[in-house]
Structure 1
Amino acid sequence: MKPDAISILKNPIHCLAFGLGSGLAPKAPGTFGTLAAVPLFLLLSSLSLSEYLYVVVFTSVIGIYLCGKTARDLGVHDHPGIVWDEFVGFWITMIAIPVTWWSVLLGFALFRLFDIWKPWPIKWVDQHVDGGFGIMFDDVLAGLLALGCMHLFIQFMS
């Protein structure tokens, strides 16, 4: 089902689930959703680590509702335009990472790689866990894998 852009943007729940409209991109909505998460990450990066973690946990929990409700309303389990999970996944990728142009670029690339490739257990979650939790959890896992890679990279580069 192709949702009507106006109705998505008028509904605050759907608008957030569609990444403030970034999920309406006709091609690669997940990539556009992750791109839209970058400027918000840059704003969030000024928070203390504990404040940043609070925001990530809060947006993850809220995302379960946003993504689940939007998927139910659209009648599609995980509509490609639902990209709130990409926002949160990218923010997880960047936990406690020094903010530089290369770290943002590498975090973006690693998160997209794991989100698209879906190595185990991400693929299993994507195929077997339903609802808003399932929509969010595979991207949380992709973010955690990317986060681990980011910290390993930083450790080896220092």
Structure 2
Amino acid sequence: MYKLNINSIFVSVFGVGYIPFASGTFGSLAGLIIGYLIYLINYNLLFLAIPILFILGIIASDIYQNKTGEQDSKVIVIDEVVGQLIAMLTVLDNFLLLFLSFLIFRFFDIVKPWPASFFDKNMKNGKGVMMDDVIAGIYSLIILIIIEMCI
């Protein structure tokens, strides 16, 4: 078993990824909470946090996979956090839309429409782990922008 260290704490988002069921859902929920806390400090910090967490997520996921031999382990939920942060970018001031961002992101993360499915199936490294969730986050963001325009 891979020992608990700074890398496993990071990829599991402080242990959330070790929850034995629905780790992706709990990872997305952690992203919702983290994103909202960042928003309360300064909304613009999200635009710094997302690329930093994305790059660190690629590196840390590669390290975790190399150490454990597991590909896209359920323990790795930093990808869900980054995807959720993207999904919620425009709806942080509306709790109903914030909750909807969570549901829509989970839908796209589970269904994995192209090109998310390409990354999920063909890139068994940190980039693949992170990219399918980034794409799910972008799809969610687009849907939420359309919803906001219609309200």
In the superposition, relative to structure 1, how do residues 98 and 41 fare at CA in structure 2: closer, same or farther (>3 Å)? closer
2:106 maps to 1:112: yes
Structure 1 unaligned regions, length at least 5: none
- Normalised by the length of structure 1, the TM-score is 0.89
What secondary structure, in the 3-state scheme, does the structure 1 residue paired with 2:97 have?
A: helix
| Residue 12 of structure 1: aligned partner | 6
Match of 2:74 in 1: 80
Displacement of 1:52: 1.7
Distance in 2, matches of 1:106 and 1:16, equals 26
Paired with 1:52 and 1:37, the residues of 2 have a C-alpha distance of 11
Question: Identity across aligned pairs (percent)?
Answer: 30
The alignment yields a C-alpha RMSD, in angstroms, of 1.3
Stretches of 4+ moved more than 2 A in 1?
Answer: 96-100
- Structure 2 CA distance for aligned equivalents of residues 156 and 100 of structure 1: 15
- CA deviations on 1:90-139 (whole Å, 9 max, x unpaired) are 00111232422212210100110000011111111100112111100110
Equivalenced residue count is: 150
Aligned residue number for residue 22 of structure 1: 16
Where does 1:87-98 land on structure 2 (aligned, <5 Å)? 87-98=81-92
Shift of 1:63: 0.7
Q: Which runs of 5+ in 2 are unaligned?
A: none
Give the aligned partner of residue 103 of structure 1: 97
TM-score by length of 2: 0.93
- The answer (yes or no) to whether the contact 1:15–1:21 under 8 Å persists in 2 is yes
Q: Does 1:140 align with 2:134?
A: yes
CA–CA distance in structure 1, aligned partners of residues 116 and 55 of structure 2: 18
